[in-house]
Amino acid sequence: MNLPLLTLIIVLVHLAGLVAATHAVMHTRTPQGAFAWALGLALLPWLTLLPYLYLGRSRFHGYVDLHRRHRRQLDLARSEAIQPPQHILERYGALSTMLDTPFHPGQALRLLVDGGATFTAILAAIAQAEHSVLVQFFIIHDDGLGRRMQQALLKRAAAGVKVCVLYDGIGSYALPHRYVETLRAGGVAIHPFATQRRHNRFQVNFRNHRKIVVVDGAIGYVGGLNVGDEYLGQKPPLAPWRDTHMELRGPAVGELQRSFAEDWHWVTGTLPPLHTPPLGQGSAHTLIAATGPADRQESCSLFFVTAIQAARQRVWLTTPYFVPDSAVMAELRLAVFRGVDVRVLIPSIADHTTVFLSSTLHARDAVRAGIRMFRHHPGFMHQKVLLVDDDTAAVGSMNMDSRSFRLNFEASALNVDRGFAADVDAMLRNDFSHAVEFDESEYDHAPWRRRLAMHLARLCDPIL
């Protein structure tokens, strides 16, 4: 390569870096993220331009516009809600207002611990479907569990049931084309989710991380599990896999249906089958928090903030990725100062090394603030559960990291009910009994190279 051509390439790359740095300053959501991207793009464009193409966008317009413009149309999936008791409004009313989502009374809830219980319940409900089955997962694998799900959906489609399936285009990148085509050939409507109708191979942000199943508009499932053998604990070295899902019956199922309908309408331009849920026969008040980057507020982060603020006796959290933002970390600290029992359960082994390293450093800082941190044993802990005092429990897909807070579409059910909270309490007590409490020695006694790696990993927090 001659010198003038090389000089021209260098100049063009640096000019492109400056253009991208300007874009980052104008469009990145957080000051920390904007500063990190701008500095890297301006000084080291050779290293940062390509990652910015994949990770740099922090907002989009097409889905946002549809999300807001058609929200009233999609209210077809919503039944009339009754005003919740005053004590619920006082604690969680701001969350309901922010999400424009009511608490629904009369929910019958069932806690589903681990993959065996979860998919036994889901597959049994699908087998009984008479009208419609709506299925949405971040990951679907073509393995033992994936093929069981495939056959269950094909059987209902063959029986005349309307079956609609969404999977995330990046999360399910390994799903073979033949798996999808087999479902389509059998009458199942199935599509990958993407936030741009025009394919953009450089866009890996804005993933649809929701895990939702709705059967006949009457039974709903939400939680942390995807469709794959590893979620049944059948793939070392992450086995046994620890996770949690839940079953809902009652009007709140309409909110799960509505969340699915928004995503389906974006992908297909049509609405899926919608049914009015039957009246609830249970005792729980449930709010479905379907959050994402289409929201005007950083609703997932504020979901955690609101729940932690409501605590007076305890906040017990489980998360596979402990990378809290400043707002959530401040609320956890304030809860400790109020005398609240704050405990966080995180994994003892990593499925993503960078996140694990950053989580370890955040855990050290949390312990210094009086937050009790625990590492789960054995295997990998993937559940996303929140327990507040003796009456409130949330189960869903929300991780405690920037991707869930700002970049991913998530869904969780916040339930106010002493009976359900007691079930979650028993589950978490068993989890904590098998956990090892984290202390600062894990950081202090680590080799300096590993400590350096932790601090370098934390620099990546805005994109973890």
Read off the CATH number of the domain in which 360 is found.
3.30.870.10
Are 215 and 335 in the same domain?
Answer: no
pLDDT of 305 higher than 60: yes
In a domain, 388, yes or no: yes
Q: What residues does 449 pair with on adjacent strands?
A: none
In a domain, 294, yes or no: no
In a domain, 96, yes or no: no
Q: Which residue has the tokens 């790696």?
A: 453
Question: So what's the pLDDT on residue 78?
Answer: 53
**Phi-psi region for residue 216, left (φ > 0), alpha (ψ -120 to 50) or beta?**
left
Domain span including residue 372 = 299-463
In a domain, 418, yes or no: yes
Are 70 and 201 in the same domain?
Answer: yes
Are 228 and 311 in the same domain?
Answer: no
Q: What residues does 289 pair with on adjacent strands?
A: 412
Among the options 142, 243, 263, 389, which is catalytic? 389
Could you tell me the CA-to-CA distances from 400 to 156, 175, 177, 365, 452 in Å, in that order? 36, 27, 33, 15, 23
pLDDT of 203 higher than 60: no
The average pLDDT across 84-102 equals 94
pLDDT digits (tens, 9 = 90+) for 344-376: 999 999 999 999 999 999 999 999 999 999 999
The average pLDDT across 254-263 equals 95
Question: So what's the pLDDT on residue 77?
Answer: 46
**Of 287, 346, 338, 284, which is closest to residue 308 (Cα–Cα)?**
338
Are 313 and 275 in the same domain?
Answer: no
Are 318 and 443 in the same domain?
Answer: yes
Judge whether 399 and 384 are in contact, CB under 8 Å: yes
Active site residue 155: no
Among the options 168, 263, 382, 417, which is catalytic? 382
Q: Give percent of the chain above pLDDT 90.
A: 73
Are 143 and 264 in the same domain?
Answer: yes
The average pLDDT across 32-40 equals 73
Judge whether 55 and 463 are in contact, CB under 8 Å: yes
Q: Is the model more confident about 392 or about 403?
A: 392
Total structural domains within the chain: 3
Active site residue 211: yes
In a domain, 292, yes or no: no
List, in sequence order, the alpha helices (H) in 269-320: 299-310
- Sign (positive or negative) of CA dihedral 267, 268, 270, 275: negative
Query: Any idea which of 61-70, 113-122, 320-329 has the lowest mean pLDDT?
Result: 61-70
Burial class (CB in 10 A: 0-12, 13-18, 19+), 410: buried
**Of 118, 323, 151, which is closest to residue 226 (Cα–Cα)?**
118
Amino acid at 363: A
Q: Which residue has the tokens 């309490």?
A: 425
Q: Which residue has the tokens 């007590």?
A: 429
Tokens of 226: 């995807």
* pLDDT band at 71; cut points 50, 70, 90: low
pLDDT digits (tens, 9 = 90+) for 399-434: 999 999 988 999 999 999 999 999 999 999 999 999
Among the options 384, 401, 417, 461, which is catalytic? 384
Active site residue 384: yes
Among the options 114, 142, 168, 216, which is catalytic? 216
The average pLDDT across 138-145 equals 98
* pLDDT band at 201; cut points 50, 70, 90: very low
Among the options 67, 104, 209, 376, which is catalytic? 209
In a domain, 99, yes or no: no
Are 324 and 273 in the same domain?
Answer: no
Q: Which residue has the tokens 């191979």?
A: 201
pLDDT of 140 higher than 70: yes
In a domain, 41, yes or no: yes
Are 271 and 141 in the same domain?
Answer: yes
Active site residue 245: no
The average pLDDT across 115-134 equals 98
Are 149 and 230 in the same domain?
Answer: yes
In a domain, 383, yes or no: yes
Question: So what's the pLDDT on residue 202?
Answer: 46
The average pLDDT across 317-341 equals 97
Supply φ then ψ for residue 228, to 5 degrees: 180, 155
Active site residue 389: yes
Judge whether 324 and 363 are in contact, CB under 8 Å: no
Q: Which of 257, 286, 315 is the last residue of a domain?
A: 286
Q: Which of 286, 319, 336 is the last residue of a domain?
A: 286
Are 214 and 324 in the same domain?
Answer: no
The average pLDDT across 372-388 equals 97
